[in-house]
A and B are shown apart, each in its own frame.
Chain A
Amino acid sequence: MSTTGSDGSKPHGSAGSGDAHGHGHHPFQAHHWHSMRQQYEAGKLGMWLFLATEVLLFGGLFCAYFIYRHNRPELFEYGHHALDKIMGTVNTVVLLVSSLTMALGVRFAQVGDKKKLRAMLALTFLCGCGFMGIKYFEYKAKIEHGYLLGSKFDYHEVIEHEAHASGDTAGHAATPAVGESATHAVDPAAPHGEAAVFVPANVPAYVPAEKSAFIEPPRGPSGLAPDAGSVPHDPAHGGAAHVEPNLLPGDGRPRDAHIFFSIYFMMTGLHGIHVLIGMAVLGWLFVISRDGRFGPKYYTPVEVGGLYWHLVDLIWIYLFPLLYLI
Protein backbone atom coordinates (compact mmCIF):
# COMPACT_ATOMS: atom_id res chain seq x y z
CA MET A 1 0.00 0.00 0.00
CA SER A 2 2.71 2.39 0.98
CA THR A 3 5.12 1.45 -1.74
CA THR A 4 4.16 4.47 -3.77
CA GLY A 5 4.76 6.64 -0.77
CA SER A 6 6.56 9.83 -1.44
CA ASP A 7 8.00 8.45 -4.63
CA GLY A 8 4.66 8.88 -6.23
CA SER A 9 5.15 12.59 -6.52
CA LYS A 10 8.83 12.60 -7.33
CA PRO A 11 9.94 13.68 -10.74
CA HIS A 12 10.97 10.96 -13.09
CA GLY A 13 14.18 9.20 -12.28
CA SER A 14 15.25 11.15 -9.26
CA ALA A 15 15.21 8.11 -7.03
CA GLY A 16 17.80 6.31 -9.05
CA SER A 17 20.05 9.14 -10.03
CA GLY A 18 22.63 8.41 -7.40
CA ASP A 19 22.40 4.71 -7.68
CA ALA A 20 25.41 2.56 -8.34
CA HIS A 21 23.65 0.26 -10.76
CA GLY A 22 24.35 2.55 -13.58
CA HIS A 23 20.91 2.78 -15.04
CA GLY A 24 17.88 4.85 -14.13
CA HIS A 25 15.42 3.20 -11.85
CA HIS A 26 11.74 3.06 -12.42
CA PRO A 27 10.29 6.30 -11.06
CA PHE A 28 8.13 4.38 -8.62
CA GLN A 29 10.87 2.23 -7.19
CA ALA A 30 11.69 3.33 -3.68
CA HIS A 31 15.43 3.61 -3.25
CA HIS A 32 15.63 0.99 -0.50
CA TRP A 33 14.43 -1.75 -2.82
CA HIS A 34 16.82 -3.76 -4.84
CA SER A 35 14.45 -3.99 -7.75
CA MET A 36 10.90 -3.34 -8.82
CA ARG A 37 10.18 -7.00 -8.46
CA GLN A 38 11.46 -7.11 -4.90
CA GLN A 39 9.39 -4.05 -4.10
CA TYR A 40 6.32 -5.66 -5.63
CA GLU A 41 6.77 -8.99 -3.89
CA ALA A 42 7.45 -7.37 -0.54
CA GLY A 43 4.43 -5.12 -0.88
CA LYS A 44 2.21 -8.04 -1.70
CA LEU A 45 3.63 -10.16 1.11
CA GLY A 46 2.96 -7.32 3.53
CA MET A 47 -0.61 -7.08 2.28
CA TRP A 48 -1.20 -10.78 2.79
CA LEU A 49 0.12 -10.47 6.33
CA PHE A 50 -2.28 -7.61 6.90
CA LEU A 51 -5.14 -9.63 5.46
CA ALA A 52 -4.28 -12.42 7.89
CA THR A 53 -4.76 -9.99 10.76
CA GLU A 54 -8.04 -8.91 9.19
CA VAL A 55 -9.22 -12.50 9.22
CA LEU A 56 -8.38 -12.67 12.90
CA LEU A 57 -10.10 -9.35 13.57
CA PHE A 58 -13.33 -10.62 12.09
CA GLY A 59 -12.59 -13.98 13.67
CA GLY A 60 -13.37 -12.60 17.11
CA LEU A 61 -16.85 -11.65 15.96
CA PHE A 62 -17.34 -14.99 14.22
CA CYS A 63 -16.33 -16.66 17.46
CA ALA A 64 -18.99 -14.68 19.32
CA TYR A 65 -21.47 -15.67 16.66
CA PHE A 66 -20.76 -19.38 16.99
CA ILE A 67 -20.79 -19.38 20.76
CA TYR A 68 -24.13 -17.58 20.98
CA ARG A 69 -25.53 -19.62 18.17
CA HIS A 70 -24.56 -22.78 19.96
CA ASN A 71 -26.02 -21.64 23.25
CA ARG A 72 -29.14 -19.94 22.03
CA PRO A 73 -30.01 -21.28 18.59
CA GLU A 74 -33.58 -20.08 18.94
CA LEU A 75 -32.43 -16.45 18.96
CA PHE A 76 -30.90 -16.85 15.54
CA GLU A 77 -33.79 -18.80 14.19
CA TYR A 78 -36.08 -16.09 15.46
CA GLY A 79 -34.02 -13.04 14.64
CA HIS A 80 -33.19 -13.91 11.09
CA HIS A 81 -36.83 -13.43 10.13
CA ALA A 82 -36.18 -9.72 10.44
CA LEU A 83 -33.48 -9.77 7.76
CA ASP A 84 -34.38 -9.28 4.15
CA LYS A 85 -33.12 -12.28 2.24
CA ILE A 86 -33.64 -10.59 -1.10
CA MET A 87 -31.68 -7.51 -0.16
CA GLY A 88 -28.96 -9.73 1.23
CA THR A 89 -28.80 -11.75 -1.95
CA VAL A 90 -28.73 -8.64 -4.12
CA ASN A 91 -25.92 -7.28 -1.99
CA THR A 92 -24.03 -10.53 -2.40
CA VAL A 93 -24.40 -10.28 -6.15
CA VAL A 94 -23.29 -6.64 -6.09
CA LEU A 95 -20.17 -7.52 -4.12
CA LEU A 96 -19.36 -10.49 -6.35
CA VAL A 97 -19.69 -8.31 -9.45
CA SER A 98 -17.46 -5.71 -7.82
CA SER A 99 -14.90 -8.42 -7.20
CA LEU A 100 -14.94 -9.24 -10.91
CA THR A 101 -14.50 -5.61 -11.92
CA MET A 102 -11.66 -5.29 -9.42
CA ALA A 103 -9.96 -8.41 -10.77
CA LEU A 104 -10.42 -7.06 -14.29
CA GLY A 105 -8.96 -3.76 -13.12
CA VAL A 106 -5.82 -5.54 -11.94
CA ARG A 107 -5.68 -7.33 -15.26
CA PHE A 108 -5.97 -4.09 -17.23
CA ALA A 109 -3.24 -2.57 -15.11
CA GLN A 110 -1.05 -5.57 -15.85
CA VAL A 111 -1.55 -5.33 -19.58
CA GLY A 112 -1.20 -1.55 -19.50
CA ASP A 113 -4.72 -0.62 -20.59
CA LYS A 114 -4.92 2.50 -18.50
CA LYS A 115 -8.31 3.66 -19.68
CA LYS A 116 -10.03 0.38 -18.89
CA LEU A 117 -8.22 0.19 -15.57
CA ARG A 118 -9.79 3.49 -14.54
CA ALA A 119 -13.17 2.39 -15.82
CA MET A 120 -12.96 -0.76 -13.72
CA LEU A 121 -11.89 1.18 -10.65
CA ALA A 122 -14.87 3.47 -11.11
CA LEU A 123 -17.24 0.53 -11.62
CA THR A 124 -15.93 -1.19 -8.52
CA PHE A 125 -16.39 2.02 -6.57
CA LEU A 126 -19.98 2.29 -7.82
CA CYS A 127 -20.66 -1.29 -6.75
CA GLY A 128 -19.40 -0.31 -3.31
CA CYS A 129 -21.85 2.61 -3.34
CA GLY A 130 -24.63 0.23 -4.32
CA PHE A 131 -23.74 -2.14 -1.52
CA MET A 132 -23.72 0.61 1.06
CA GLY A 133 -26.95 2.04 -0.33
CA ILE A 134 -28.75 -1.26 0.10
CA LYS A 135 -27.19 -1.61 3.51
CA TYR A 136 -28.54 1.82 4.39
CA PHE A 137 -32.10 0.79 3.59
CA GLU A 138 -31.66 -2.43 5.52
CA TYR A 139 -30.40 -0.61 8.59
CA LYS A 140 -33.14 1.96 8.22
CA ALA A 141 -35.81 -0.74 8.27
CA LYS A 142 -34.24 -2.36 11.34
CA ILE A 143 -34.11 0.92 13.20
CA GLU A 144 -37.68 1.80 12.24
CA HIS A 145 -38.90 -1.51 13.56
CA GLY A 146 -36.97 -1.11 16.77
CA TYR A 147 -34.67 -4.04 15.99
CA LEU A 148 -31.78 -2.49 17.80
CA LEU A 149 -28.75 -3.85 19.52
CA GLY A 150 -28.07 -4.41 23.16
CA SER A 151 -30.23 -2.67 25.71
CA LYS A 152 -31.85 -0.56 22.99
CA PHE A 153 -33.87 -3.59 22.03
CA ASP A 154 -37.18 -3.49 23.87
CA TYR A 155 -40.13 -5.63 22.92
CA HIS A 156 -42.56 -2.89 23.85
CA GLU A 157 -40.89 -0.57 21.40
CA VAL A 158 -40.66 -3.33 18.85
CA ILE A 159 -44.35 -4.09 19.00
CA GLU A 160 -45.15 -0.42 18.71
CA HIS A 161 -42.78 0.11 15.81
CA GLU A 162 -43.89 -3.01 14.03
CA ALA A 163 -47.47 -1.87 14.29
CA HIS A 164 -46.59 1.52 12.84
CA ALA A 165 -44.49 0.01 10.11
CA SER A 166 -47.09 -2.47 8.97
CA GLY A 167 -50.07 -0.21 9.60
CA ASP A 168 -51.72 -3.19 11.16
CA THR A 169 -54.80 -2.53 13.25
CA ALA A 170 -54.17 -5.38 15.60
CA GLY A 171 -50.80 -3.92 16.40
CA HIS A 172 -52.29 -0.53 17.11
CA ALA A 173 -54.85 -2.06 19.36
CA ALA A 174 -52.22 -3.96 21.24
CA THR A 175 -49.85 -1.09 21.67
CA PRO A 176 -51.68 0.69 24.43
CA ALA A 177 -52.49 -2.62 25.96
CA VAL A 178 -48.83 -3.28 26.52
CA GLY A 179 -48.35 -0.26 28.68
CA GLU A 180 -51.70 -0.39 30.30
CA SER A 181 -51.63 -3.95 31.43
CA ALA A 182 -48.05 -3.72 32.48
CA THR A 183 -48.94 -3.43 36.10
CA HIS A 184 -51.52 -6.15 35.90
CA ALA A 185 -49.11 -8.63 34.52
CA VAL A 186 -46.89 -8.40 37.54
CA ASP A 187 -48.12 -11.15 39.68
CA PRO A 188 -46.76 -10.48 43.13
CA ALA A 189 -47.18 -14.11 44.00
CA ALA A 190 -45.04 -15.31 41.18
CA PRO A 191 -41.34 -15.11 41.92
CA HIS A 192 -39.59 -13.27 39.16
CA GLY A 193 -36.16 -14.45 40.05
CA GLU A 194 -33.55 -14.09 37.38
CA ALA A 195 -36.10 -13.57 34.70
CA ALA A 196 -36.70 -10.03 35.80
CA VAL A 197 -33.04 -9.20 36.00
CA PHE A 198 -32.57 -9.28 32.27
CA VAL A 199 -35.47 -7.12 31.29
CA PRO A 200 -36.27 -3.46 31.77
CA ALA A 201 -38.36 -2.75 34.82
CA ASN A 202 -41.42 -1.89 32.81
CA VAL A 203 -41.49 -5.23 31.04
CA PRO A 204 -43.16 -7.59 33.42
CA ALA A 205 -44.33 -9.96 30.77
CA TYR A 206 -41.81 -12.69 31.39
CA VAL A 207 -43.78 -15.07 33.47
CA PRO A 208 -41.43 -17.49 35.18
CA ALA A 209 -43.63 -20.44 34.42
CA GLU A 210 -42.90 -19.91 30.75
CA LYS A 211 -39.91 -17.82 31.24
CA SER A 212 -38.18 -18.44 27.96
CA ALA A 213 -40.83 -16.79 25.88
CA PHE A 214 -42.06 -13.26 25.83
CA ILE A 215 -45.69 -13.54 26.74
CA GLU A 216 -48.04 -10.97 25.33
CA PRO A 217 -49.70 -9.06 28.12
CA PRO A 218 -53.36 -9.84 28.44
CA ARG A 219 -55.62 -7.36 26.76
CA GLY A 220 -57.04 -4.69 29.03
CA PRO A 221 -60.69 -4.60 29.87
CA SER A 222 -61.10 -1.42 27.87
CA GLY A 223 -62.26 -3.09 24.70
CA LEU A 224 -58.82 -3.00 23.14
CA ALA A 225 -58.95 -6.59 22.15
CA PRO A 226 -58.88 -6.94 18.38
CA ASP A 227 -62.23 -7.36 16.71
CA ALA A 228 -62.75 -10.81 15.43
CA GLY A 229 -63.25 -9.44 11.93
CA SER A 230 -59.96 -7.66 11.44
CA VAL A 231 -57.52 -10.28 12.65
CA PRO A 232 -57.73 -13.95 13.31
CA HIS A 233 -58.19 -14.82 16.90
CA ASP A 234 -54.76 -15.58 18.20
CA PRO A 235 -53.03 -15.16 21.49
CA ALA A 236 -50.30 -12.95 20.16
CA HIS A 237 -52.00 -10.87 17.48
CA GLY A 238 -49.23 -12.26 15.37
CA GLY A 239 -51.34 -12.99 12.34
CA ALA A 240 -50.39 -9.85 10.48
CA ALA A 241 -46.78 -9.92 11.62
CA HIS A 242 -46.34 -13.37 10.18
CA VAL A 243 -47.65 -12.32 6.82
CA GLU A 244 -45.48 -9.25 6.81
CA PRO A 245 -42.04 -10.17 5.49
CA ASN A 246 -38.93 -9.07 7.35
CA LEU A 247 -40.71 -8.61 10.62
CA LEU A 248 -40.10 -10.65 13.70
CA PRO A 249 -42.82 -13.24 14.22
CA GLY A 250 -45.25 -12.05 16.84
CA ASP A 251 -45.49 -15.54 18.15
CA GLY A 252 -43.24 -16.96 20.84
CA ARG A 253 -40.90 -14.04 21.16
CA PRO A 254 -37.77 -15.36 22.87
CA ARG A 255 -35.94 -13.54 25.59
CA ASP A 256 -32.68 -11.85 24.70
CA ALA A 257 -33.50 -11.44 21.03
CA HIS A 258 -31.25 -8.39 21.18
CA ILE A 259 -28.28 -10.75 21.13
CA PHE A 260 -28.97 -11.60 17.52
CA PHE A 261 -29.25 -7.96 16.55
CA SER A 262 -26.13 -7.04 18.48
CA ILE A 263 -24.21 -9.65 16.54
CA TYR A 264 -25.88 -8.63 13.30
CA PHE A 265 -25.04 -4.96 13.70
CA MET A 266 -21.50 -5.58 14.92
CA MET A 267 -20.60 -7.97 12.13
CA THR A 268 -22.25 -6.15 9.26
CA GLY A 269 -21.13 -2.84 10.76
CA LEU A 270 -17.48 -3.81 10.86
CA HIS A 271 -17.84 -5.21 7.38
CA GLY A 272 -19.51 -2.00 6.22
CA ILE A 273 -16.62 0.02 7.61
CA HIS A 274 -14.31 -2.17 5.58
CA VAL A 275 -16.35 -1.53 2.46
CA LEU A 276 -16.06 2.20 3.08
CA ILE A 277 -12.29 1.92 3.56
CA GLY A 278 -12.10 -0.16 0.39
CA MET A 279 -14.05 2.51 -1.46
CA ALA A 280 -11.65 5.15 -0.17
CA VAL A 281 -8.75 3.06 -1.48
CA LEU A 282 -10.49 2.71 -4.84
CA GLY A 283 -11.10 6.45 -5.01
CA TRP A 284 -7.48 7.08 -4.22
CA LEU A 285 -6.37 4.61 -6.90
CA PHE A 286 -8.70 6.28 -9.38
CA VAL A 287 -7.24 9.69 -8.65
CA ILE A 288 -3.58 8.71 -8.78
CA SER A 289 -4.06 6.58 -11.88
CA ARG A 290 -4.88 9.75 -13.81
CA ASP A 291 -1.27 10.18 -14.86
CA GLY A 292 -1.17 6.67 -16.27
CA ARG A 293 1.47 5.47 -13.87
CA PHE A 294 0.16 1.92 -13.66
CA GLY A 295 1.35 -0.53 -16.22
CA PRO A 296 2.87 -3.99 -16.52
CA LYS A 297 5.98 -2.91 -14.61
CA TYR A 298 4.28 -1.14 -11.81
CA TYR A 299 0.81 -1.95 -10.56
CA THR A 300 1.44 -2.87 -6.93
CA PRO A 301 -1.11 -0.43 -5.46
CA VAL A 302 -3.82 -1.73 -7.78
CA GLU A 303 -3.01 -5.33 -6.98
CA VAL A 304 -2.77 -4.72 -3.25
CA GLY A 305 -5.90 -2.54 -3.13
CA GLY A 306 -7.64 -5.29 -5.08
CA LEU A 307 -6.57 -7.88 -2.52
CA TYR A 308 -8.18 -5.77 0.19
CA TRP A 309 -11.38 -5.44 -1.80
CA HIS A 310 -11.52 -9.18 -2.42
CA LEU A 311 -11.06 -9.90 1.27
CA VAL A 312 -14.03 -7.69 2.05
CA ASP A 313 -16.00 -9.72 -0.47
CA LEU A 314 -14.69 -12.94 1.02
CA ILE A 315 -15.88 -11.98 4.50
CA TRP A 316 -19.31 -11.12 3.17
CA ILE A 317 -19.44 -14.56 1.58
CA TYR A 318 -19.45 -15.97 5.12
CA LEU A 319 -21.58 -13.27 6.71
CA PHE A 320 -24.42 -13.58 4.24
CA PRO A 321 -25.43 -17.21 4.87
CA LEU A 322 -24.68 -17.07 8.58
CA LEU A 323 -26.93 -14.08 9.21
CA TYR A 324 -29.53 -14.10 6.45
CA LEU A 325 -30.02 -17.70 5.46
CA ILE A 326 -30.03 -19.58 8.73
Chain B
Amino acid sequence: MSHSDPAHADSGHAHDHGHAHAHDHGHGAHGGDVHAHPVPAKILVGILMMLFLLTFITVAVSYVDLGKANLFVAMAVASVKAAIVALFFMHLFWDKPFNGLIIVSAFFFLGIFIGLALLDTKEYQHELIPMFEKEGQIQQQLDRPPG
Protein backbone atom coordinates (compact mmCIF):
# COMPACT_ATOMS: atom_id res chain seq x y z
CA MET B 1 0.00 0.00 0.00
CA SER B 2 3.01 2.27 0.13
CA HIS B 3 3.41 2.50 -3.60
CA SER B 4 3.51 5.55 -5.72
CA ASP B 5 0.10 7.13 -5.67
CA PRO B 6 -0.85 9.71 -8.24
CA ALA B 7 -3.81 10.75 -6.18
CA HIS B 8 -1.59 12.41 -3.64
CA ALA B 9 0.03 14.47 -6.30
CA ASP B 10 -2.83 16.33 -7.82
CA SER B 11 -6.57 16.29 -8.15
CA GLY B 12 -7.00 13.43 -5.75
CA HIS B 13 -8.23 15.78 -3.10
CA ALA B 14 -10.31 17.94 -5.34
CA HIS B 15 -13.53 16.15 -4.49
CA ASP B 16 -12.52 15.60 -0.96
CA HIS B 17 -15.48 15.22 1.34
CA GLY B 18 -14.86 12.35 3.66
CA HIS B 19 -11.31 11.88 2.62
CA ALA B 20 -9.58 13.33 5.64
CA HIS B 21 -9.24 10.04 7.43
CA ALA B 22 -8.44 7.97 4.44
CA HIS B 23 -4.72 8.14 5.13
CA ASP B 24 -4.92 8.32 8.84
CA HIS B 25 -2.75 5.38 9.76
CA GLY B 26 -3.10 5.98 13.43
CA HIS B 27 -6.84 5.65 13.56
CA GLY B 28 -8.00 2.87 15.82
CA ALA B 29 -5.92 0.51 17.85
CA HIS B 30 -4.50 -1.36 14.87
CA GLY B 31 -4.37 1.14 12.04
CA GLY B 32 -6.83 -1.01 10.19
CA ASP B 33 -8.47 1.61 8.05
CA VAL B 34 -8.84 1.19 4.35
CA HIS B 35 -6.42 3.40 2.50
CA ALA B 36 -8.18 4.68 -0.52
CA HIS B 37 -5.98 5.41 -3.50
CA PRO B 38 -8.19 7.31 -5.84
CA VAL B 39 -6.75 7.47 -9.33
CA PRO B 40 -7.09 10.97 -10.80
CA ALA B 41 -9.80 11.29 -13.39
CA LYS B 42 -7.30 12.76 -15.83
CA ILE B 43 -5.23 9.58 -15.77
CA LEU B 44 -8.32 7.43 -16.24
CA VAL B 45 -9.48 9.45 -19.23
CA GLY B 46 -5.97 9.31 -20.67
CA ILE B 47 -6.03 5.53 -20.32
CA LEU B 48 -9.31 5.41 -22.22
CA MET B 49 -7.81 7.50 -25.02
CA MET B 50 -4.93 5.07 -25.23
CA LEU B 51 -7.36 2.17 -25.44
CA PHE B 52 -9.25 3.96 -28.23
CA LEU B 53 -6.01 4.48 -30.11
CA LEU B 54 -5.08 0.80 -29.80
CA THR B 55 -8.57 -0.21 -30.91
CA PHE B 56 -8.18 2.00 -33.95
CA ILE B 57 -4.81 0.43 -34.70
CA THR B 58 -6.10 -3.11 -34.44
CA VAL B 59 -9.11 -2.36 -36.66
CA ALA B 60 -6.92 -0.58 -39.19
CA VAL B 61 -4.41 -3.43 -39.31
CA SER B 62 -7.25 -5.86 -39.99
CA TYR B 63 -7.73 -4.23 -43.40
CA VAL B 64 -4.15 -5.00 -44.33
CA ASP B 65 -3.34 -8.54 -45.29
CA LEU B 66 -0.24 -9.56 -43.38
CA GLY B 67 -0.87 -13.26 -43.68
CA LYS B 68 -0.17 -15.08 -40.47
CA ALA B 69 1.17 -11.93 -38.87
CA ASN B 70 -2.36 -10.56 -38.62
CA LEU B 71 -3.14 -12.94 -35.80
CA PHE B 72 0.02 -12.05 -33.91
CA VAL B 73 -0.51 -8.32 -34.34
CA ALA B 74 -4.12 -8.65 -33.19
CA MET B 75 -3.12 -10.71 -30.16
CA ALA B 76 -0.24 -8.38 -29.29
CA VAL B 77 -2.42 -5.27 -29.44
CA ALA B 78 -5.14 -7.02 -27.45
CA SER B 79 -2.61 -8.02 -24.82
CA VAL B 80 -1.33 -4.46 -24.51
CA LYS B 81 -4.90 -3.26 -24.10
CA ALA B 82 -5.64 -5.98 -21.55
CA ALA B 83 -2.50 -5.07 -19.61
CA ILE B 84 -3.48 -1.40 -19.56
CA VAL B 85 -6.96 -2.24 -18.30
CA ALA B 86 -5.59 -4.54 -15.62
CA LEU B 87 -2.86 -2.15 -14.48
CA PHE B 88 -4.79 1.09 -14.36
CA PHE B 89 -8.54 0.48 -14.43
CA MET B 90 -8.13 -2.51 -12.15
CA HIS B 91 -5.49 -0.72 -10.08
CA LEU B 92 -2.91 -3.49 -10.22
CA PHE B 93 -0.23 -0.87 -10.81
CA TRP B 94 -0.78 0.45 -7.30
CA ASP B 95 -2.11 -2.72 -5.75
CA LYS B 96 -0.39 -5.43 -3.78
CA PRO B 97 1.76 -7.47 -6.19
CA PHE B 98 0.13 -10.63 -4.97
CA ASN B 99 -3.19 -9.77 -6.61
CA GLY B 100 -1.35 -9.25 -9.87
CA LEU B 101 0.47 -12.52 -9.40
CA ILE B 102 -2.84 -14.35 -9.17
CA ILE B 103 -4.15 -13.08 -12.47
CA VAL B 104 -0.81 -13.38 -14.24
CA SER B 105 -0.51 -16.99 -13.10
CA ALA B 106 -4.01 -17.65 -14.41
CA PHE B 107 -2.91 -16.45 -17.84
CA PHE B 108 0.34 -18.40 -17.48
CA PHE B 109 -1.48 -21.66 -16.84
CA LEU B 110 -3.92 -20.87 -19.59
CA GLY B 111 -0.93 -20.52 -21.89
CA ILE B 112 0.33 -23.94 -20.84
CA PHE B 113 -3.14 -25.39 -21.35
CA ILE B 114 -3.58 -24.01 -24.84
CA GLY B 115 0.03 -24.66 -25.77
CA LEU B 116 -0.18 -28.33 -24.82
CA ALA B 117 -3.53 -28.69 -26.52
CA LEU B 118 -2.08 -27.30 -29.72
CA LEU B 119 0.97 -29.55 -29.68
CA ASP B 120 -0.47 -32.23 -31.94
CA THR B 121 -2.72 -29.99 -33.96
CA LYS B 122 -2.88 -31.03 -37.58
CA GLU B 123 -1.20 -34.29 -36.64
CA TYR B 124 -4.21 -36.43 -37.46
CA GLN B 125 -6.11 -34.14 -39.71
CA HIS B 126 -5.20 -36.04 -42.84
CA GLU B 127 -6.95 -39.06 -41.49
CA LEU B 128 -9.84 -37.35 -39.79
CA ILE B 129 -10.77 -34.88 -42.46
CA PRO B 130 -10.27 -36.38 -45.89
CA MET B 131 -10.61 -33.05 -47.61
CA PHE B 132 -7.90 -31.51 -45.55
CA GLU B 133 -5.38 -31.49 -48.35
CA LYS B 134 -7.83 -29.52 -50.41
CA GLU B 135 -7.42 -26.59 -48.11
CA GLY B 136 -5.31 -24.71 -50.59
CA GLN B 137 -8.03 -25.05 -53.11
CA ILE B 138 -10.53 -23.47 -50.76
CA GLN B 139 -8.14 -20.67 -50.15
CA GLN B 140 -7.93 -20.07 -53.86
CA GLN B 141 -11.67 -19.95 -54.07
CA LEU B 142 -11.87 -17.52 -51.21
CA ASP B 143 -9.20 -15.33 -52.72
CA ARG B 144 -11.00 -15.14 -55.99
CA PRO B 145 -12.37 -11.65 -56.55
CA PRO B 146 -16.11 -11.29 -56.21
CA GLY B 147 -18.27 -11.87 -59.23
Contacts of A92 on B, CB cut-off 8 Å?
A: 55
Contacts of B98 on A, CB cut-off 8 Å?
A: 45
> Any chain B CB within 8 A of the CB of A32?
no
Which of A21, A40, A321 interacts with B34 by CB under 8 Å? A40
Contacts of A85 on B, CB cut-off 8 Å?
A: 59, 62
Contact with A along B91-121 (1 / 0, CB 8 A): 1000110110011011101100110011001
Contact with B along A303-326 (1 / 0, CB 8 A): 100110011011001101110111
Within 8 A of A (CB), among B63-101: 70-71, 74-75, 77-78, 81-82, 85-86, 88-91, 95-96, 98-99
The answer to whether A251 touches B144, judged by C-beta atoms less than 8 angstroms apart, is yes
Within 8 A of B (CB), among A53-108: 53, 55-56, 59, 62-63, 66-67, 70-74, 77-78, 85, 89, 92-93, 96-97, 99-100, 102-104, 106-108
> Any chain A CB within 8 A of the CB of B139?
yes
The answer to whether A254 touches B118, judged by C-beta atoms less than 8 angstroms apart, is no
> Any chain B CB within 8 A of the CB of A190?
no
Cα(A93)–Cα(B81), bound, Å: 13
Count of chain B residues near A, Cβ 8 A: 82
Q: Is the interface of B mostly helix, strand, loop or mixed?
A: helix
The answer to whether B30 touches A110, judged by C-beta atoms less than 8 angstroms apart, is no
Contacts of B3 on A, CB cut-off 8 Å?
A: none
The answer to whether A110 touches B142, judged by C-beta atoms less than 8 angstroms apart, is no
Cα(A41)–Cα(B95), bound, Å: 10
Which of B17, B21, B38, B110 interacts with A107 by CB under 8 Å? B38
The answer to whether B137 touches A107, judged by C-beta atoms less than 8 angstroms apart, is no
Contacts of A49 on B, CB cut-off 8 Å?
A: 102
The answer to whether B55 touches A96, judged by C-beta atoms less than 8 angstroms apart, is yes
Contacts of A325 on B, CB cut-off 8 Å?
A: 58-59, 61-62, 70, 74
> Any chain B CB within 8 A of the CB of A112?
yes
Cα(A243)–Cα(B121), bound, Å: 35
The answer to whether B15 touches A99, judged by C-beta atoms less than 8 angstroms apart, is no
Taking the closest CB of chain B, its distance from the CB of A99, in whole angstroms, is 5
> Any chain A CB within 8 A of the CB of B32?
yes
The answer to whether A211 touches B131, judged by C-beta atoms less than 8 angstroms apart, is yes
Whether A252 touches B142, Cβ cut-off 8 Å, given contacts A34-B32, A116-B15, is yes
Closest to A242 in B: B146
The answer to whether A110 touches B36, judged by C-beta atoms less than 8 angstroms apart, is yes
Taking the closest CB of chain A, its distance from the CB of B78, in whole angstroms, is 5
The answer to whether B17 touches A56, judged by C-beta atoms less than 8 angstroms apart, is no
Which of B34, B44, B125 interacts with A296 by CB under 8 Å? B34
Contact with A along B18-58 (1 / 0, CB 8 A): 11011000001111111111111100110110011001001
Closest to A59 in B: B110
Contacts of A108 on B, CB cut-off 8 Å?
A: 15
Taking the closest CB of chain A, its distance from the CB of B64, in whole angstroms, is 11
Task: Pick 8 A–B contacts, CB within 8 A, sort by A.
Answer: A41-B96, A49-B102, A78-B142, A116-B15, A234-B147, A238-B147, A311-B90, A325-B62
Q: What 7 pairs between A and B have smallest CB-CB spacing?
A: A35-B32, A252-B141, A242-B146, A112-B18, A52-B106, A212-B134, A325-B62
Interface residues, chain B, with chain A CB atoms under 8 Å away: 12-19, 21-22, 28-41, 44-45, 47-48, 51-52, 55, 58-59, 61-62, 70-71, 74-75, 77-78, 81-82, 85-86, 88-91, 95-96, 98-99, 102-103, 105-107, 109-110, 113-114, 117-118, 121-122, 125, 129-132, 134-135, 137-142, 144, 146-147
